[in-house]
Amino acid sequence: MNDMKNAGTVATIPSDAEVTARVEALLGRMSLEEKVGQLAQISGADFMPGPKAEEIIRKRGAGSVLWLNDTKKFNELQKIAVEESPSGIPLLFALDVIHGYRTIFPVPLAMASSWDPAVAEQAQTIAAKEARAAGLHWTFGPMLDIARDARWGRIVEGAGEDPYLGAAMAAAQVRGFQGNDLADPERVVACAKHFAGYGAADGGRDYDPVFLSEAQLRNVYFPPFQAAVNAGVATFMSAYMDLNNVPASGNRWLLRDVLRGEFGFAGFVVSDAIAVGNLVVQGHARDGRDAALRSLKAGLNMDMASSVYLENLADLVNEGLLSMAEIDEMVRPILSLKVRMGLFEHPYVDETLLEKVVALPEHRQAARVAAQRSMVLLRNEGGLLPLPKTLKNVAVIGPLADSMEATEGSWMVFGHKPAAVTVLQGIRAKLPEASVTYAPGPEIRKDIPSFFDEVIFSEAQKPIQTPEAAEAAFQTAVETARGADVVIMVLGENANMAGEFASRGSLDLPGRQEELLKAVVALGKPVVLVLLNGRPLSINWAAEHVPAILEAWEPGTEGGNAVADILFGEVNPGGKLPVCFPRSGSHAPLYYARTLTHQPEDHPQYRSRYWDSPTTPLYPFGFGLSYTTFSITNLNVSASQVKIGESVTVTADVTNTGKVAGDEVVQLYIHQKWGSDSRPMRELKGFKRVPLNPGETKTVTFNLGADELRYWSTNAGRWLQDAAAFDIWVGADSLATLHADLEVVN
Ligand code: BGC
């Protein structure tokens, strides 16, 4: 179908009035069956029961097709929708393009570690361009769930624990995916998910219920979603779980009052997969019919893959339980989006485009830079890093050292075959003259496999290593390390160990990895630990005994090259943690922005909240080292006292006091000392990643105004700015000590 006319050309942007007129004209000639078709997102994959996509589309059309990643098939289905379905309304093809389509970027948690929204925007711009060239219109991203519990597997998909950083990353990703114009043929429609509170699952167990106060929702969990709306996100996805006992996909308060009413969102909401049907399983709806009624009334436009809308909505209208006006209200924004995208004029994709687009060298280059910028140097005793390129004899050890899957990480695009440069390959490419030996050591594996392990992750499908084979692999790894001058250990988690269906109780290195690390360190060689993982890990032993630790996360297609760039000093790491690292899984949820207790940690009589371990994080939020040193000085607040509603300017100087160029992320934290509610002991309210040459000083400027100083108050039941005193800190992480005072008065 390469000759299909109008494939991928730029559409003219219709005015709002034109969009409305076209949508109303369409609605006027659509049957109820067809309208309901637009409210359904149907599976393009064979694993779902029920009628096949072709059949549904031919009969009544459909809003969207998901779980299909086949350019030719897109055109075939689109042809049925446009030429054979009654109203000829084109389909939206949707898929999870979370951190790259073919060129895979670092996972979102890693991207947040860059503290560089521009790099996230560029990554999603490229992801959008590749995905659109493949024929996709819509991605289920960005994932905006604040996650303060590292046991929760889906922490990997978001920007970490903080609403301010999360909001910045949210807006950047929306801009990257969507650009400025929904008709841009190189962009895809974004979907802010999962609305809302999913990251606070009880015990970090995926899908478990969430109980959050209105204040927590509004102050912590909503800000990234509000930022996405402000950035123009066209769609939302409702979450799976119960929020305060009402499932998010049937939650009228969330979908109507907050999202539409308060945020002013004018797009449409799709459920999470099968979530409408699951209202029955969750004990909210009596049966599918009741589920359809509840979700539609709650304001959920599109049913992802449960068929419950398709099977019940028309009957509900015919029986008078729903009005046609209620159906039209839900269909309108779906049709509007299709009109605005120019889909009616350009429904098809040029089947030759993708291979040209993915071959663009700037995509690989951008992936490498993104990976470099997202890595966090956690330890570097004695300046072991960077390593000299003159090394002759290096051993690369660990189960992830040569794993493409672990390097590209969680949430691979449906059907994607990992093709990353592994850490081993990156190091070999950097040291062409040296002997670089390799041994994986014992394999690592989830104790309880998930559905995804059976269908997606090739490493989970390999035969299980016997204990004897594991022991032999262990010994080989130690012997390989013994023969080297420097050992680079690549440990962490497989790609399937974080993500959906991938929560865990412990945050320790899985399997025999720590035992292997100890055995290698015992050899007395210089050891560098490179971590590939999608969540914080409680690497307590390593943090004391391994001189150099680089948190590389799941760094994507160019990950191995980026690791080598950093290990050998071509790039100076400048990433910072977007989550704290707890010392144990049992300490989760752990986050820096807690309110004070009556006996704070520094109280002389009360040193620890647990008697068996300190409750401070192993590494704090915002932490990360560099190959150079920085000083942050001259904190200045433009006024020591302001009235409610007024702003101050906060400035500080940051100087590179070392010998190589590097980036420092300068962070601004506040604490409101008293008021209507107690407020967190620290809250991030500004950050800037600043590149500095040796000896160079730059002044960083932040604005603190009503937006930063107000909060949603439980006591007042509304947004509020108190007259109160504030601490202000500026520094290099959430433990910053450079301090100033600010007083806000009536
Ligand atoms: C996930 C969503 C995802 C959807 C479609 C669900 O299981 O929770 O994040 O977008 O599937 O693949």
Q: What is the CATH number of the domain that holds 230?
A: 3.20.20.300
Residue 349 lies in a domain: no
Alpha carbon distance 334, 326 (integer Å): 14
495 lines ligand 1 (CB under 6 A): no
- 216-238 burial, b if ≥16 CB within 10 A, otherwise e? bbbbbbbbbbbbbbebbbbbbbb
Alpha carbon distance 262, 259 (integer Å): 6
Strands (E), 602-661: 630-637, 641-643, 648-656
Residue 684 lies in a domain: yes
CATH of the domain at 505: 3.40.50.1700
Structure confidence by residue, pLDDT tens digits, 217-263? 999 999 999 999 999 999 999 999 999 999 999 999 999 999 999 99
738-745 and 268-270 strand pairing: unpaired
- In this prediction, residues 304-330 reach a mean pLDDT of 98
Q: How confident is the model at residue 47 (pLDDT cuts 50, 70, 90)?
A: confident
CATH of the domain at 666: 2.60.40.10
Residue 503 lies in a domain: yes
Question: 232 and 322 share a domain?
Answer: yes
Nearest atom of ligand 1 to the alpha carbon of 414: 12
Which residues, at least 6 apart from 723, have a Cβ–Cβ distance to it below 8 Å?
Answer: 644, 744, 745, 746
Which residues, at least 6 apart from 678, have a Cβ–Cβ distance to it below 8 Å?
Answer: 595, 596
Residue for token pair 């009880």: 202
Task: For ligand 1, atom 6, name the residue with the nearest CA.
Answer: 273
Terminal CA-CA length for the chain: 68
Alpha carbon distance 266, 618 (integer Å): 43
Residue 524: count of CB within 10 angstroms of its CB: 8
Of 70, 73, 192, 194, which Cα lies nearest the Cα of 139?
Answer: 192
Alpha carbon distance 120, 124 (integer Å): 6
Q: How confident is the model at residue 161 (pLDDT cuts 50, 70, 90)?
A: very high
Alpha carbon distance 313, 558 (integer Å): 47
Query: Among 47, 207, 500, 501, which is best to mutate for testing ligand 1, by the most ligand atoms less than 8 A from CB?
Result: 500
Whole-model pTM: value is 0.97
pLDDT for 459: 80
10 Å CB burial of residue 5 (0-12, 13-18, 19+) is: exposed
- Collapsing DSSP to helix, strand or coil, 167 comes out as helix
pLDDT for 263: 98
Task: For ligand 1, atom 5, name the residue with the nearest CA.
Answer: 273
Residue for token pair 């945050």: 507
The answer, yes or no, to whether residue 599 has pLDDT greater than 60, is yes
Question: 252 and 134 share a domain?
Answer: yes
Question: 506 and 640 share a domain?
Answer: no
Question: 332 and 193 share a domain?
Answer: yes
Query: Among 65, 68, 96, 411, which is best to mutate for testing ligand 1, by the most ligand atoms less than 8 A from CB?
Result: 96
619 lines ligand 1 (CB under 6 A): no
Residue 158 lies in a domain: no
Structure confidence by residue, pLDDT tens digits, 372-387? 999 999 999 999 999 9
Residue 156 lies in a domain: no
Give me the number of domains the chain comprises: 3
140 lines ligand 1 (CB under 6 A): yes
**Number of H-type helices and E-type strands within the chain:** 25, 26
Nearest atom of ligand 1 to the alpha carbon of 140: 10
DSSP 540-564: HHHHHH-SEEEE--S--TTHHHHHH
- The one-letter amino acid code at 353 reads L
- In this prediction, residues 326-354 reach a mean pLDDT of 98
pLDDT for 4: 47
Question: 317 and 432 share a domain?
Answer: no
- The residues with which 396 forms a beta bridge, in sequence order, are 438, 488
Q: How confident is the model at residue 7 (pLDDT cuts 50, 70, 90)?
A: low
Active-site annotation holds for 272: yes
Q: Which domain holds residue 716?
A: 630-744
Given 553, 587, 621, the domain boundary residue is 587
Given 587, 620, 643, the domain boundary residue is 587
The answer, yes or no, to whether residue 313 has pLDDT greater than 60, is yes
- In this prediction, residues 327-355 reach a mean pLDDT of 98
- Collapsing DSSP to helix, strand or coil, 193 comes out as strand
pLDDT for 615: 86
- Work out the mean pLDDT of the chain and round it to a whole number: 96
CA of 348 to the centre of ligand 1 (A): 25
CA of 498 to the centre of ligand 1 (A): 14
Judge whether 655 and 630 are in contact, CB under 8 Å: yes
435-439 and 376-380 strand pairing: unpaired
Which residues, at least 6 apart from 137, have a Cβ–Cβ distance to it below 8 Å?
Answer: 92, 93, 94, 188, 189, 341, 343
At residue 144's C-alpha, the angle toward residues 285 and 235, to 5°, is 65
Structure confidence by residue, pLDDT tens digits, 643-692? 999 999 999 999 999 999 999 999 999 999 999 999 999 999 999 999 99
Alpha carbon distance 697, 684 (integer Å): 23
- The one-letter amino acid code at 340 reads R
Structure confidence by residue, pLDDT tens digits, 267-290? 999 999 999 999 999 999 999 999
CA of 621 to the centre of ligand 1 (A): 28
CA of 34 to the centre of ligand 1 (A): 25
272 lines ligand 1 (CB under 6 A): yes
Which residues, at least 6 apart from 540, have a Cβ–Cβ distance to it below 8 Å?
Answer: 583, 618
Question: 438 and 481 share a domain?
Answer: yes
Question: 322 and 394 share a domain?
Answer: no
The half-sphere exposure of 706 on its side-chain side, counting CA atoms within 13 A, is 8
Given 341, 376, 396, the domain boundary residue is 341
Which residues, at least 6 apart from 666, have a Cβ–Cβ distance to it below 8 Å?
Answer: 632, 652, 654, 687, 688, 690, 700, 730, 731, 732
The answer, yes or no, to whether residue 9 has pLDDT greater than 60, is no
207 lines ligand 1 (CB under 6 A): no
Cis peptide before 470 (omega within 30 of 0): no
Judge whether 398 and 130 are in contact, CB under 8 Å: no
Query: Among 47, 92, 140, which is best to mutate for testing ligand 1, by the most ligand atoms less than 8 A from CB?
Result: 140
- In this prediction, residues 93-109 reach a mean pLDDT of 98
Of 294, 258, 264, 261, which Cα lies nearest the Cα of 276?
Answer: 294
Query: Among 69, 92, 272, 276, which is best to mutate for testing ligand 1, by the most ligand atoms less than 8 A from CB?
Result: 272
> What are phi and psi for residue 418, nearest 5 degrees?
-55, 140
96 lines ligand 1 (CB under 6 A): yes
Task: For ligand 1, atom 11, name the residue with the nearest CA.
Answer: 273
Structure confidence by residue, pLDDT tens digits, 389-414? 999 999 999 999 999 999 999 988 98
Question: 257 and 377 share a domain?
Answer: no
Alpha carbon distance 438, 425 (integer Å): 10
pLDDT for 412: 86
pLDDT for 457: 83
Residue 268 lies in a domain: yes
Q: How confident is the model at residue 467 (pLDDT cuts 50, 70, 90)?
A: very high
CA of 308 to the centre of ligand 1 (A): 17
697-704 and 648-656 strand pairing: antiparallel
Alpha carbon distance 395, 401 (integer Å): 11
- The one-letter amino acid code at 647 reads S
Q: How confident is the model at residue 6 (pLDDT cuts 50, 70, 90)?
A: very low
Residue 157 lies in a domain: no
From 96, 272, 350, 402, active-site residue? 272
Judge whether 525 and 480 are in contact, CB under 8 Å: no
Task: For ligand 1, atom 10, name the residue with the nearest CA.
Answer: 140
Strands (E), 145-196: 191-195
Radius of gyration of the chain (CA): 26
500 lines ligand 1 (CB under 6 A): yes
273 lines ligand 1 (CB under 6 A): yes
Give the orientation angle of helix 324-340 with respect to helix 288-298, to 10 degrees: 60
- Collapsing DSSP to helix, strand or coil, 715 comes out as coil
- In this prediction, residues 294-318 reach a mean pLDDT of 98
- The one-letter amino acid code at 130 reads E
Of 392, 396, 393, which Cα lies nearest the Cα of 439?
Answer: 396
Judge whether 99 and 105 are in contact, CB under 8 Å: yes
Query: Among 193, 276, 416, 450, which is best to mutate for testing ligand 1, by the most ligand atoms less than 8 A from CB?
Result: 193
Question: 708 and 573 share a domain?
Answer: no
CA of 273 to the centre of ligand 1 (A): 6
Q: How confident is the model at residue 607 (pLDDT cuts 50, 70, 90)?
A: low
Alpha carbon distance 148, 162 (integer Å): 8
Give the orientation angle of helix 117-133 with respect to helix 163-178, to 10 degrees: 30
Task: For ligand 1, atom 8, name the residue with the nearest CA.
Answer: 272
- Collapsing DSSP to helix, strand or coil, 510 comes out as coil
Judge whether 361 and 19 are in contact, CB under 8 Å: no
Of 709, 572, 574, 732, which Cα lies nearest the Cα of 653?
Answer: 732
Residue 274: count of CB within 10 angstroms of its CB: 18
Question: 214 and 303 share a domain?
Answer: yes
10 Å CB burial of residue 140 (0-12, 13-18, 19+) is: buried
The alpha helices in 431-533, defined as continuous H runs, are 451-455, 458-461, 467-482, 513-521
At residue 92's C-alpha, the angle toward residues 86 and 93, to 5°, is 125
Question: 285 and 237 share a domain?
Answer: yes
- The one-letter amino acid code at 426 reads G
The dihedral sign for the CA sequence 70, 75, 76, 81: positive
Residue 600 lies in a domain: no
Nearest atom of ligand 1 to the alpha carbon of 67: 12
Task: For ligand 1, atom 12, name the residue with the nearest CA.
Answer: 96
Q: How confident is the model at residue 11 (pLDDT cuts 50, 70, 90)?
A: low
Question: 639 and 494 share a domain?
Answer: no
CA of 542 to the centre of ligand 1 (A): 35
Task: For ligand 1, atom 7, name the residue with the nearest CA.
Answer: 273
Of 121, 117, 236, which Cα lies nearest the Cα of 167?
Answer: 117
- The one-letter amino acid code at 237 reads M
CA of 379 to the centre of ligand 1 (A): 36
Cis peptide before 603 (omega within 30 of 0): no
